[in-house]
Structure 1
Amino acid sequence: MDFPQIYADFYAKFPIAYLVTDRERWIYANERAVQLLKEESVADLIDKPVYQCLPGACELFSGNPVDFPLEFREKWLSKNGESIYLKFTGIPLVENPNYIQFFVNEIKRMEEEFSDLLEEMAAWLAHEILNPLTSVKGFLELMQRPDGENREMYINIAKKEIEQIEQIVSQCILLRRPIQNKALTDLNRLMNETVSQLSGQGYFEKVHIAVSAIGPVEFYCEGSLIKEVFRNLLMNAIEAKATKIYVQISAKEKGIDIKIADNGNGGAKSRWKKPGGSLNGRKGRWGGFGSLIINRIITGHDGKIFFHKEKEAGSIVHIQLPHTFPPENLPGERKE
């Protein structure tokens, strides 16, 4: 079935950008879409693979049922290399549910959102640093008492609080330092090591975790940073009171796919923004400063990360990474 002409005629002069996909490629775009996406003509969009320019719509290609409306934000790279920040809202066509129509709006409030993010970061840092500092100060005052009881215990607790501050400062540094010390690394091994470390610390006592790994999946990366991403995502599931976590890492033709699914507290609405969106710095389960760190690491490796909220409870985090390998004949490369 072709795209109905009645829709094409109706949306041709529509004031909102309107795109239609058959879940593989773009099959229709109105004039406003061409203007908004800064393309030269409709022909520049038609037949273009959707997954290449719209990773946020990855659910459409999974073969699994999709909850509509499908809403997400995406950075669109125009033909002239300009980045445009857009909000996409997709719903199926009544006559043919395999056709998905997207209404597209440009995000006008990026500066305001960035200001909100800075405010949130300041509050987060004040909370995360002032709390341990207050504890250290309190234990030092207790140690000054003449009786001097429990001095060893107070010292150990103060050390742990100082280590927490060090970890926070180290994470802040990640936001600006370049990705370096890359090596060809097996991601399945990194995930298994992360799970083992968290298990050794007692985090998985009441959680069943299954890692689906068939052979090595090699990626050219800074392994310690990718492991930090894995650790943060698993800890987030634990903090959401998940009792089951399922991890799958696989190499596909288009790149590397990483999915982390959990049955945690997806019912807490304050934890979530719109399903299908990219991780960002807004409040919620995936909001705040921690998500900035994760985004920085993944985008620094030319990847993308998305979250999907399940209807009742739980979530799926989807990471897409490109196939990358060490430059040939470059001395000093190593395999982790």
Structure 2
Amino acid sequence: MYDHSDLILNAIIILLPLIFYRTRKKNENPLYLFVLFLIPLIITMTFPVKMFNTTLDLRSIPLVLGSLYGGLYTFLLLFGSLLAYRQILGGIDMLHYAIAFLPSIALILCFIRPFRKADSKKRMLIVFGLCFFVRSTVINLYFLLEGNRSYFGANYLPSLPVVCVQCLLAVMLAIMIDTVRNQIRMQEEIVKAEKMKVVSEIAASVAHEVRNPLTSVRGFIQLLADPALSDLKRQQYSSITLEELDRAEAIISDYLSLAKPQNENLECIPLEEALAKAARILSSYANLQNVEIETEFHSNATIYGNKAKFRQAIINIGKNAIEAMPDGGKLVLKSTGDERTRKVTVAISDTGVGMSPEQVNRLGSPYYSTKDKGTGLGTMVIYSIIRGMNGQIEVQSKEGEGTTYILTLPIDSCTPSK
């Protein structure tokens, strides 16, 4: 007969290191591991389980596992605590008890470093072997030193199945600890990978977005070098160049403020004015690519949103359209309003190379681009801006015939549409 409550208590206590190990981010501190394995060590010594004419001595499990996972300092602290608490419990010759532990001490110290470098199977064999050795040698050497030479045959051999069960319990706990350790490492690696992904996306997006106004600036500077350019044109081009440089600065400021988002500057946007300005900005780049820009504005409706971001979305679409016409072509910006649905539609069409249905479906995904050196983030920003204005984007394209972006936006009531 034996007390079931003590057995259940010992089994639960043995699992304590696993429970608390999982809640720690840094689990390699020797002092922390010492405390973690000291608790089950003390409790198992306090409430030993008597069964099958032997003692289910689980103290070897926290001693061995704590030493293997914590290292030399954890082992010394655990062993010192074991001797001190055994002295408090009394009832044995402490000198003989300490001498009986010497072979186990030597073997555990020999396996601490190989255990950390071993693969999973070897680690489990080391745990099983050390627990079996500690359980077998300590008790038999102690009774041998006490002069009881018959203990091995009379008491120990019949209890071998119980000893093997203890060792298997240690192996199971080691497997669970290794699983937790691997999960913690994987979580840390995933967090690091996500952080690097976010950083790389932001960096690529900043580079992509700043490149657009700089391209326009470069085109207008080339136009300004024309000696035949009139003073009026020169003044207009200079003004647009400065505006584009300001836009580049604003884009950088927006990305720098991602860590601390601020309220956007929302305002009424006259649609025709915004589209006309975007067309003027795109004109220099279009001229360099032998692309004609045509505008058809049939609605002077007003929409609501961030004016700079809306213009940025239109310019991004226009720039992509121009780059899709390497041999020249026509870019058409068209707007129509519907008073009944209170919606305005902006269509941006090109006569470029077009896209397949699969390419159209993947538009707006990070890092997907139809251009060899594209990042895909420019299109993603377009989708984000338009959706942020409660709008929708539809893309119609056919390979070899061109692409049309259709933006549908709500008309704002601050200025009635005509």
Which structure has the larger Rg over C-alpha atoms? 2
TM over 0.5: no
TMscore range, shorter length = 0.3 to 0.5
Higher relative contact order, structure no. (Cα contacts within 8 Å, ≥ 6 residues apart): 1
Higher strand share: 1
Task: Give the TM-score normalised by the residue count of structure 2.
Answer: 0.36
Task: Give the TM-score normalised by the residue count of structure 1.
Answer: 0.44
